[in-house]
Amino acid sequence: MGPGALGRVFAAALARVARVALVARGEEGARRLRAGYALRGPDGAESFVYPEAFAGDDAPDARWAIVLVKGPDTEAAAHTAARLASAGVLSLQNGWVLERLRAAARGVMADQGATTAAAWRQGEDVVWEAAGHSWLPPGFAELAQMMTAAGLPAEVSADIDEARLQKLAVNLLLNPLTAVLRIKNGDVLREPAWRMVRELAREMTPVLRGRGLSLQEAEVLELTARVARATADNISSMLADVMAGRPTEIAEITGVLLSWGGEEGVRLPQHQALYHLVRALEQVDRGQPLQQ
Ligand SMILES: NC(=O)c1ccc[n+]([C@@H]2O[C@H](COP(=O)([O-])OP(=O)(O)OC[C@H]3O[C@@H](n4cnc5c(N)ncnc54)[C@H](OP(=O)(O)O)[C@@H]3O)[C@@H](O)[C@H]2O)c1
């Protein structure tokens, strides 16, 4: 579900080991996909992919569905995914969409994992930057095996909450700040950005630990620095979204943290400020007047 950067990569890779339907929003998108797209793999090799692509209404029944839409599109995609898939619906989206996913995918096992696979679009074509590693929730072992065989290393994690929370922690520290400051991931390691990262980490770590994160503040910073170094030349998906005038996943990332903080009576003023700044940037980059 979702023929964007990651969806195109997953469809192309999984087609080596299984029959795959790539599900677009509508027939027009599906028709464009059937015309094919170029894929540059992590090893630099180029291939041309002709997926079996469908609009949601016309898509065939499936054993598994993988949701790879952006956060705001979760409900619509999960609803269709649950109608098609008999074994389960897996989200590998960024941010925290678990409750929304399950509510929309009632009647079938639905859960959220985490992935460090990376890809970006160039028009219809896609650059598959890294195969990364994916952590899947219990119940998704068959899918993890298929992904691994397809070149997308995956494992079932008994402590999937930890994997999800660690991914969320890194996204909370890198995505909004890089979008607001318009800097590459590696630039957060320089002052004064790194000081802001430290303050954001101090503010949020107790809330994330209250949700089950095992890492201490210093370990959260260490993990974030590792990711920033490994992706130093990349721009974050949130920066890419604001620059392209697309909606961001700020609600699924910082918005979720703010609502968890609210439930526990914890104030998160710096995350709150970033949330409002990204919301404003979404409007500015779309050429819209600022609104509440
Ligand atoms: N790209 C990465 O490297 C990466 C890495 C880790 C995690 N992620 C996460 O994975 C998710 C997808 O990321 P992405 O970069 O692949 O996003 P993307 O390029 O924006 O692709 C999302 C795709 O979903 C389609 N879509 C939206 N609603 C749909 C629906 N109801 N049915 C079918 N298709 C629908 C969109 O169609 P339209 O074009 O018509 O809007 C678009 O093609 C995000 O949560 C992201 O944070 C991405």
Instruction: Cite the beta strand spans of the chain per DSSP E.
Output: 21-24, 37-40, 46-49, 52-55, 62-67, 85-91, 110-112, 114-115, 118-122, 125-130, 134-136, 154-156
Query: What pLDDT, on a 0 to 100 scale, did the predictor assign at position 245?
Result: 87
pTM of the model: 0.94
Name the one residue in this structure whose structure tokens are 């990569």.
Answer: 9
Query: Cβ neighbours of residue 204 under 8 Å, at least 6 residues apart?
Result: 169, 172, 257, 261, 268, 271
Do the domains spanning 5-156 and 160-284 agree at the CATH topology level? no
Q: Does residue 161 register a pLDDT over 50?
A: yes
Dihedral sign, Cα of residue 136, residue 10, residue 18, residue 26: positive
For the cut 60, the answer to whether the pLDDT of residue 143 exceeds it is: yes
Give the residue-averaged pLDDT of 74-91.
96
Residues 101-129, mean pLDDT to the nearest whole number: 94
Q: Give nearest CA residue, ligand 1 atom 29.
A: 25
Residue 289 confidence (pLDDT) above 90: no
Dist CA 166 CA 172 (whole Å): 10
As a whole number, mean pLDDT of residues 259-263 equals 98
Confidence class for position 292, pLDDT limits 50, 70, 90: very low
- 3 pocket-lining for ligand 1 (C-beta < 6 Å): yes
4 lines ligand 1 (CB under 6 A): yes
pLDDT band, very low/low/confident/very high, at 283 (cuts 50, 70, 90) = confident
Chain centre to alpha carbon of residue 257: 16
Ligand 1 atom closest to the Cα of residue 129 is 3
- Angle subtended at Cα 25 by Cα 110 and Cα 66, rounded to the nearest 5 degrees: 25
Q: Could you tell me if the CB of 127 is within 6 A of ligand 1?
A: no
- Residue whose CA lies nearest to ligand 1 atom number 28: 73
- Tell me: domain 160-284, CATH 3.30.2350.10, correct? no
User: What per-residue confidence (pLDDT) applies to 286?
Assistant: 62
Q: Whose CA is nearest to atom 36 of ligand 1?
A: 2
Convert the pLDDT of each residue in 9-46 to its tens digit.
999 999 999 999 999 999 999 999 999 999 999 999 99
pLDDT of residue 39: 97
Query: Scanning the structure block, which residue is given the tokens 């990651």?
Result: 6
* pLDDT at 250 > cutoff 90: yes
Q: How far is the CA of 225 from the centre of ligand 1 (A)?
A: 26
Residues assigned a catalytic role:
167
Check: CATH 3.40.50.720 for 5-156? Answer: yes
**288 pLDDT above the threshold of 70:** no
Delimit the domains of the chain by residue range. 5-156, 160-284
Q: What is the mean pLDDT of the chain?
A: 95
Percent of the chain with pLDDT strictly greater than 90: 93
For the segment 263-287, the average pLDDT, to the nearest whole number, is: 90
246 touches ligand 1 (CB under 6 Å): no
Say yes or no to pLDDT of 290 above 60.
no
Q: How many Å lie between the centroid of ligand 1 and the Cα of residue 245?
A: 15
